[in-house]
Amino acid sequence: MMASTLPPPYTPPRSFLFPRRNASSAPPAYPPGYVPGGLFAKYANDPREKRNRSLSLRAKKTGGSGPDAGSGRRFGFASMRASTQPELSKKLYRLIKSENHVISNYTNAGREQISIASQLSDWGLSTNDDAISDISDKIGVMLSELGEQDITYAQNLEDFRTVLKSIRNVEASVQPSRDKRARVTDDIQRLKYKEPQSPKLVLLEQELVRAEAENLVAEAQLSNVTRQKLKEAYAAHFAAVVERSQKQEILAKHARRLLSLLDDTPVVPGDARPAYDLERDARQILADAEEDLRNWTLELEEVPTNAQLDANAMPSVSAGNSPVTETHPQQATLHGTGEEAPKPELVV
């Protein structure tokens, strides 16, 4: 009688689509090179720490070989437009696009701040407390002006973004000359390999000389415009940052003066608070803030420049003897006064 063969022990099927992972309560590790809290958190509380940190963001780019590796971008119309850009101008195109999001966020933040200021004033009126009603209304005016400063800052960033577009446009115009030179070079190498004695080689070499001459001019124009406009753009950017911060500092200091007018001495049940009679003082604080904004000027160190270009983005004849353009102070523009203030003469 033949021995019966028993089936192998049952083994549950394993799922290869969703493999089981070992449960772990440990927090996820930070990416390589990342310091929790930002670039300067490691040295914030330890003055003895040597300041030998990397001062470049490029050292943090680990993993991935492409320019978009690890960026988490999703496909959309913006990515489609970026894909149609010349290779030379793609990165700056994305930077300008991202800067547009920053501008929108500052504009929205300023509008929300103005809305919050109105809500604060309405709430103070509903408390039926003369002191709280007056102080909250005056603080709402300050908050509203802070929101206006954010909106103005966003408008200044738009000017900075416009200057960057000029670099992007030149990059896009230089790309065809690079492509033409590379194409002619490839044609020559291919023809030398297939037909070393072909008469077309002479024509292609002549075309290569013309392509290299055109590309040489285009590269010089790109270098000149890039250096000039990069300096001009970020001079305007940081001037806008200084303007916003200094004006908001003025408003914040006067807003703190308003708080000193509010008596917060506790009272026992049955006692009445003294009557509030500081409306004139509160109005004077607002007048002081308006006067300080009116007298504000932008005082910055000059940004020297030797960029004197003609219409073809080439050095002008008098470039060597031209004086360095200085950044002049900007007169403050008061919101609601109807006064027009001259804009600063930035580096050009």
- The model's pTM is 0.64
Instruction: Tell me the torsion sign for CA atoms 158, 159, 162, 167.
Output: negative
DSSP 334: -
Q: Top-level CATH class of 85-263+278-314?
A: mainly alpha
Domain definitions of the chain by residue range: 85-263+278-314
Distance in angstroms (rounded) separating the CA atoms of residues 15 and 154: 53
- β-sheet bridge partners, residue 331: 297
Distance in angstroms (rounded) separating the CA atoms of residues 132 and 168: 53
Cβ neighbours of 230 (radius 10 Å): 13
Distance in angstroms (rounded) separating the CA atoms of residues 222 and 342: 31
Per-residue pLDDT tens over the stretch 226-285: 888 899 899 999 999 999 999 999 999 999 999 999 998 888 898 888 998 999 999 999
Name the strand (E) or helix (H) holding 48.
none
Q: Which parts of 146-221 are beta strand (E)?
A: none
Q: Residue 97 contacts by C-beta under 8 Å, 6 or more apart in sequence?
A: 78, 82
Taking CA atoms, 319 is separated from 111, 128, 134, 323, 324, in Å, by: 45, 69, 60, 9, 10
Per-residue pLDDT tens over the stretch 187-200: 888 888 888 878 88
Tell me the pLDDT of the chain (348 aa) as tens digits.
555 555 555 555 554 444 555 555 554 454 555 455 544 444 445 555 444 444 555 555 554 445 444 444 554 555 555 556 667 778 888 888 889 999 999 999 999 999 999 999 999 999 988 999 999 999 999 999 999 999 999 999 998 999 888 888 888 888 888 888 888 888 888 888 888 878 888 888 888 888 888 888 888 888 888 888 899 899 999 999 999 999 999 999 999 999 999 998 888 898 888 998 999 999 999 999 999 999 999 888 887 777 666 565 667 665 444 433 433 334 443 343 344 444 433 332
DSSP states of 174-186 as a string? Answer: HHHHHHHHHHHHH
